[in-house]
Amino acid sequence: MADRPSPFDGIEDLLERLNRQFETATRSWETGLEDRSQFNLSTDTAGTSLDLADEGSEFVVTVDVPGYETDDIDLRLSGDRLSITGEREQEVEEGDEQFIRQERKQQSFSRQLRLPEPVVTDDVEASLNNGVLTVRLPKHDPSTESQSIDID
């Protein structure tokens, strides 16, 4: 019976392989979190897609918002955070029985992102065209502001 292999012979190798796989998975997951936190994109996409582009003198944020009107969307810039929320409701009259199936009663989304650099708040422009929201955020040019410094 001494020639019979033990069922525990391969467990140490198996545990080492599992440990390496967990370390690899953890590293890639942490890298993904770091990349996501660079722009602080929320994880709640709610059917909206967002792009952030650096066009030299400005950042351009493009968001797909099909079916939303300008009154349905709220844009807020607070420090380096841009918040975009939208909510729309479809008015349904009681007794309207022409629908066989109706799923588009209310829809909303909320997205936030942290801008990589300061922007000029007063010069931000936003437009909505064919279900695409475009927000232009001019970068803050630190050389344009000068301040006198007193010498003691």
pTM over 0.85: no
Domain locations in the chain as residue ranges: 11-39, 41-91+105-138
- CATH code at 41-91+105-138: 2.60.40.790
Report how far residue 150's alpha carbon sits from residue 82's, in angstroms, rounded to the nearest whole number.
Answer: 36
DSSP state of 143: T
Determine the pLDDT at residue 104.
Answer: 64
CA distances from 128 to 24, 31, 49 (A): 43, 34, 15
H, E, C per residue of 82-129 = EEEEEEEECCCCCCCCCCCCCCCCEEEEEEEEECCCCECHHHCEEEEE
Inter-CA distances, 110 with 82, 123, 143, Å: 11, 23, 34
The per-residue pLDDT for range 73-117, each reduced to its tens digit, is 999 999 889 999 988 876 655 655 677 776 666 778 888 899 999
Query: Model confidence over 32-74: pLDDT tens digits?
Result: 544 444 444 343 444 578 899 999 899 999 999 888 889 999 9
- Compute the distance between CA of residue 102 and CA of residue 93 in angstroms, rounded to an integer: 12
Out of 26-30, 54-58, 92-96, 120-124, pick the least confident. Answer: 92-96
Q: How many CB atoms lie within 10 A of CB 86?
A: 21
> What integer pLDDT is reported at residue 40 of this predicted model?
41
* DSSP-based three-state secondary structure for 12: helix
Nearest to 66, CA basis, from 131, 134, 3, 128:
131
